[in-house]
Structure 1
Amino acid sequence: MVTTLLVIVIIMAIAFDYINGFHDAANSIATIVSTKVLTPFQAVLWAALFNFAAYFYFTDHKVANTIAKTVVEDYINLEVILAGLSAAIGWNLFTWYYGIPSSSSHTLIGGFAGAGIAHALVLGDNVLEAINLSPILKTVSFIVLAPVIGALISVIITLIIINIARYARPSTAEKWFKRLQLVSSAALSFAHGGNDAQKVMGIIYVSLVAGGVLVNGDHMPEWIPLVCYAAIAFGTMSGGWKIVKTMGTKITKVTALEGVSAETAGAVTLGITEHFGIPVSTTHTITGSIIGVGITKSFSAVKWGVTYSLIWAWVLTIPVSATFAGILYAVIHYIFG
């Protein structure tokens, strides 16, 4: 039976995907805008197109399954999911307002886990019994690993490109790199759509199970991925200009060559992690990739003060979202309980 609370949860989940799109638009378009290959409007349309195109390729839903298993099934109800989504949306809007490129993935996981723990406390159970530590620890480890992998791959790609193009005329090389940026940004948007849309797919699926519409193990209804990919694409079209400025100019100055390297490295990293069902942060990945291309010039080319402030936001995302979700769960439980 479809209840009012279930409808609210599904609407909130779709809203989160939309917000994720404009919050993370900068990941795909920051370098292509900063190098003036495309205007901001053209760039968001380009990114949105490939965000949605991922719907036709990423059909295994491994990342969605990982997200759905963050909280143990016995501790999942619609109140838990609503609290987790509300906390995640709140943190995303806060970081977007201040231009901080934080992780939508981690705020969703933190919110979901924090609400599950609060539910266990209300029941008087051991809080560790409410969450599956394995997927959470794997996700937390990639707070460090994703940007490091992105940086290493971008350094390798940059050095390879520099050696291949070292005898080319600079003006000719620049023209080709700007064309290649269209391809690399499309690849990153494609990988971003495939990785990030799945996170809400998992949340909507467990909402339908918690609401009694589905039985755990049932095939995911086709409307779920279609709506999630559409929401993230529309969100991307709305842009995220404050974060674009941070990503495109404040970390390091990015040329067309370096834009190709960073975007390609980000796409490769996301493709690998999606294959293994690891819900990594697109934001962390592309930030690490941009740092990598900066390092190839010199360590001083990277504005480390900005980078350190970003890292603090990354570290705080999961605990802040979890705490906020726990408080919201207490309020929601009081209202609906």
Structure 2
Amino acid sequence: MTIEWTFFLSELMQNPILMVVTLLNIGVIVVNGATDAPNAIATAVSTRAMKPRHAIIMAAVFNFLGLLLVSLVSTAVAHTIFSMVDFGGDSHQALTALMAAMVAIIVWGAAAWWFGIPTSQSHSLIAGLTGAAIAVQGSLDAINGAEWMKVIYGILLSTLLGFGLGWINYKIIGRLFRNADRVRANRFFKWAQVGSGAAVAFMHGAQDGQKFMSIFMLAIMMTAGMGMDLSGVAMPMWLMIFCAFNMGFGTAVGGERIIKSVGMDMVKLEAFQGFAASLSTFVSLFLATFGGLPVSTTHTNTTAIMGVGAAKSPKSVKWSIAIDMVKTWVLTFPGCGILGYICAKLFLMIL
């Protein structure tokens, strides 16, 4: 079964809450493109392999392609987000709570972007949905524990694998090229950086884009009274293209603040070190995406950079910046979750 775009437009014109949810989700996707996506090419900018504007355009294009092409093969991450919480059987209340979650997510993400702090839109999304679902259901029964545990697995994978691969790749590449001509090696790794940056942007589109696709599917199925069973329901092509376009647009219009925070302030990298970090990020995102584990691109890329920096020299990493980022991630789940809960309670009383 496939949901046609004509059906979605028809429902959109008849249901103002669905219209608000749609606009807010577009806003969240654009904010994600402006805040999370630039991390994909932060290392290429920090090593001077690419100019910021060229890197951002590349990231926008590959974000679009990543979501579109990977979703044709696997929508595992979208299914995980869709099944993570239960908004109940009342379609009006469920849609209202979903709208509240979107408000919480975009407020949290916009505030982080304003202060130039790399934050996880993925964690904000999960937290906001969870808080809103608990509000509408009135208990923790709103949470699907088995699916929610994939978030924990994703955090562990992105942290440990990102850092570990960064450390290992630095050592391997350094050993393989230790006798290479420095000028020729730098020229090679400049282009390798461009390629690995494009690959990370590709996987970011696939990973994060699917999360927002699931929000649209939740909204559409709630509005149509179809419940929360995705079995037999295919992700429509028009939805993939729509989400991919909005994410690419967000990346194209913003991002230099985040690039500086992650790629240039945390640790100074040479070309081969930047390649080692990007390669580590790509592998981690690839495994997580096809394993249905929702992870943060920011989190994964940051830990990979830290791994490379630590392999180079623990003193070369500005750990204070890394600690500030960890504090942000730690605050996101309770902070955005509580915000989602409060917004849902408020909207349910008003609407």
TM-score scaled by structure 2? 0.91
Question: Identity, % of aligned pairs?
Answer: 35
Q: Tell me, what secondary structure is at the counterpart of 1:136?
A: helix
* The one of 24, 28, 36 aligned to 1:16: 28
The alpha carbon displacement at 1:26 in A equals 2.5
Structure 2: distance between partners of 1:58 and 1:153? 26
- C-alpha contact 2:88 2:137 (8 A) present in aligned 1: no
Question: Is 1:220 the equivalent of 2:235?
Answer: yes
Q: Partner residue of 1:158?
A: 170
Q: Tell me, what secondary structure is at the counterpart of 1:279?
A: coil
Q: Partner residue of 2:321?
A: 306
Q: Partner residue of 1:278?
A: 293
Q: Partner residue of 1:124?
A: none
Q: Tell me, what secondary structure is at the counterpart of 1:192?
A: helix
Q: Give, as a single letter, the amino acid of the residue that structure 1 aligns with 2:214.
A: G
Q: Partner residue of 1:267?
A: 282
Q: Partner residue of 1:251?
A: 266
- C-alpha contact 1:177 1:256 (8 A) present in aligned 2: yes
Question: Is 1:198 the equivalent of 2:210?
Answer: yes
The alpha carbon displacement at 1:314 in A equals 0.7
* The one of 178, 190, 195 aligned to 2:190: 178
Structure 1 residues 77-110: Cα deviation after superposition (integer angstroms, max 9, x where no partner):
1111111111111111111111211111010010
Structure 1: distance between partners of 2:182 and 2:117? 34
Q: Give, as a single letter, the amino acid of the residue that structure 2 aligns with 1:108.
A: L
- Pick closer, same or farther for the CA change 1:87–1:334 going to 2, 3 Å: same
Q: Tell me, what secondary structure is at the counterpart of 2:84?
A: coil
The alpha carbon displacement at 1:185 in A equals 0.3
Q: Partner residue of 2:75?
A: 61
The alpha carbon displacement at 1:221 in A equals 2.5
Q: State how 1:61-140 maps to structure 2 within 5 Å.
A: 61-74=75-88, 77-121=94-138, 127-140=139-152
Which consecutive unaligned segments of at least 5 residues does structure 1 have? 122-126
- C-alpha contact 2:37 2:204 (8 A) present in aligned 1: no
Q: Tell me, what secondary structure is at the counterpart of 2:85?
A: coil
- C-alpha contact 2:87 2:137 (8 A) present in aligned 1: no
Q: Give, as a single letter, the amino acid of the residue that structure 1 aligns with 2:292.
A: G
Question: Is 1:330 the equivalent of 2:345?
Answer: yes
Structure 1 residues 111-135: Cα deviation after superposition (integer angstroms, max 9, x where no partner):
00000111122xxxxx111111222
- C-alpha contact 1:28 1:185 (8 A) present in aligned 2: yes
Q: Tell me, what secondary structure is at the counterpart of 2:158?
A: helix
Q: Give, as a single letter, the amino acid of the residue that structure 2 aligns with 1:45.
A: I
Question: In the comparison of the two structures, how many residue pairs are matched?
Answer: 331
Structure 1 residues 224-278: Cα deviation after superposition (integer angstroms, max 9, x where no partner):
1111111111111112222111101221111111111111110100000111100
Structure 2: distance between partners of 1:140 and 1:274? 14
Q: Partner residue of 1:169?
A: 181
The alpha carbon displacement at 1:73 in A equals 4.9
Q: Tell me, what secondary structure is at the counterpart of 2:117?
A: coil
- C-alpha contact 1:26 1:247 (8 A) present in aligned 2: no
TM-score scaled by structure 1? 0.94
- C-alpha contact 1:14 1:227 (8 A) present in aligned 2: no
Cα RMSD, aligned residues only: 1.5
Structure 2: distance between partners of 1:307 and 1:57? 31
Q: Give, as a single letter, the amino acid of the residue that structure 1 aligns with 2:244.
A: Y
Structure 2: distance between partners of 1:308 and 1:161? 27
Structure 1: distance between partners of 2:71 and 2:274? 25
Q: Give, as a single letter, the amino acid of the residue that structure 1 aligns with 2:236.
A: P
Structure 2: distance between partners of 1:151 and 1:169? 28
Q: State how 1:45-60 maps to structure 2 within 5 Å.
A: 45-54=57-66, 55-59=68-72, 60=74
- C-alpha contact 1:143 1:314 (8 A) present in aligned 2: no
Question: Is 1:33 the equivalent of 2:45?
Answer: yes
Structure 1 residues 24-59: Cα deviation after superposition (integer angstroms, max 9, x where no partner):
133112111111221111011111111111112332
- C-alpha contact 1:32 1:259 (8 A) present in aligned 2: yes
Structure 1: distance between partners of 2:236 and 2:155? 31
Q: Give, as a single letter, the amino acid of the residue that structure 2 aligns with 1:111.
A: G
- Pick closer, same or farther for the CA change 1:221–1:147 going to 2, 3 Å: same
- C-alpha contact 1:155 1:296 (8 A) present in aligned 2: yes
Q: Give, as a single letter, the amino acid of the residue that structure 2 aligns with 1:112.
A: L
